[in-house]
Amino acid sequence: MSEPLFSKKNLKLLSDPLNSSNPITVQVLGICSALAVTAQLKPAVVMSISVTIVLAFANVIISLLRNTIPNRIRIIVQLVVIASLVILVDQILKAYVYDVSKQLSVFVGLIITNCIIMGRLEAFALGNRPWQSFLDGIGNGAGYAVILIIVGFFRELLGSGSVFGFQVIPDSWYITNGGFYANNGMMILPPMALITVGIIIWVQRSRNRKLIEN
């Protein structure tokens, strides 16, 4: 019982989702939101933070309730916890940090439908203690964030020529200004997000052979 808070086993809960059990590239969860919000880097970062927070707290709550939840309605209980958390966060943001809540607008609704959250509650929090569940939530949130940020970075750079809204491709390079360069409009459309995620999965599997299925 007297296991240290950051024992090797617990730290693995944080680090595994970043690579060998990444929620997006290995478990293939949360793809829908990864496609929707990565046209630019800023919404991708905001979404990553929101999902991480909700995931960590939903994990803790379900873990605390895990011995009382009736098996037959456990999915409903999980949904109620996620939805209430998201609504609470939304209400508080609207009252105290209105400008942040405006930026989050659509994402708040998207968090509820994020498969990663339901997936972690069902697979981890229902069978583990609160602290481990909290770490698992943070770890999986971070694993989700890494992929979102990589995809967002390339889509914004190649699609709009900017990073975080700042122009990085010199204006004089553009064909319209007599240069040779044009943004790839395809990058800001959802299909390219899927292809970018595919390339990340390819790179990851060629480096980590354990992930290759026969």
Q: Which residue ranges make up the site for another protein (CB under 8 A)?
A: 36-37, 39-40, 43, 68-73, 76-77, 80, 84, 87-88, 91-92, 94-96, 98-99, 102, 105-106, 156, 160, 185, 188-189
Q: Which is nearer to another protein, 185 or 198 (CB)?
A: 185
Q: Which is nearer to another protein, 108 or 116 (CB)?
A: 108
CB of 60 to another protein, least distance (A): 17
Q: Which is nearer to another protein, 98 or 180 (CB)?
A: 98
CB of 165 to another protein, least distance (A): 9
CB of 214 to another protein, least distance (A): 39
Q: Cβ atoms within 10 A of the Cβ of 117, count?
A: 30
CB of 167 to another protein, least distance (A): 10
CB of 118 to another protein, least distance (A): 17
Residue keyed to tokens 């968090």: 111
Q: From CA 150, how far away is CA 45, in angstroms rounded? A: 10
Q: Which is nearer to another protein, 189 or 203 (CB)?
A: 189
Q: Which is nearer to another protein, 13 or 89 (CB)?
A: 89
Residue keyed to tokens 């979404």: 47
Q: Which is nearer to another protein, 35 or 138 (CB)?
A: 35
CB of 86 to another protein, least distance (A): 11
